[in-house]
Amino acid sequence: MSMARLPVKRCTSGLTLIEVLIALAIVGIAMTAIIKAASQSIRGTTYLQDKTIAMWVGSQVLNEARVGILVLPKGETLKQTTRMLNRDWHWQAQQEETADERIKKIQVDVYGEEEEDQNETPIVSLESYINAKE
C-alpha cells in the first residue's frame, strides 16, 4: 500500500517582507508631503502676520504725521523704532514736495526686527498725502 501525501495547508494570512517595505515607503513619502505642506502653510501665515502688523505700524506713523504729533524734517529721512505686539519694528519716513505746494507727500517704509540695517526690501511701504501747514 502506498501512502499518499496529504497536502499541507500553509497559513497565508499576513504580509510578506517586500509588501511591508513597500507600504512603509508609501507612508514615508506621504508623510514627507504632509510635513512640507504644513511647513509652507506656517511660513505663509507668519508672513501675513508680519505684513499686517507692519501695515499697522506704517498707518500709525502716517496718522501721527497727519495730526502733527510726528514732525518730519524736510528733505531728510527720519528713522525710528516702534514697539508693537512685543516686537520692534524699524521704520523710516520722509516728506516730499509735490507739484501743488499745498500738498505734501509722506512715504513710510516698515522693516522687521531682522532688517535693522534697512538695506533690505521693506515689509510694507505706504504713501499718503497731507495738507501742507502754513
Per-residue model confidence as pLDDT tens digits over 60-88: 999 999 998 999 888 899 999 999 999 99
- What would the mean pLDDT of 1-11 be, rounded to a whole number? 65
Element (H, E) at 40: helix 17-67
Cβ atoms 98, 129 nearer than 8 A:
yes
Furthest-apart CA pair in the chain: how many Å? 127
Which pTM was predicted?
0.74
12 inside domain:
no
Domain count along the chain: 1
122 inside domain:
yes
Domain range enclosing 126: 18-131
Q: How far apart are CA 11 and CA 24, in angstroms?
A: 23
Element (H, E) at 30: helix 17-67
Q: How far apart are CA 89 and CA 108, in angstroms?
A: 12
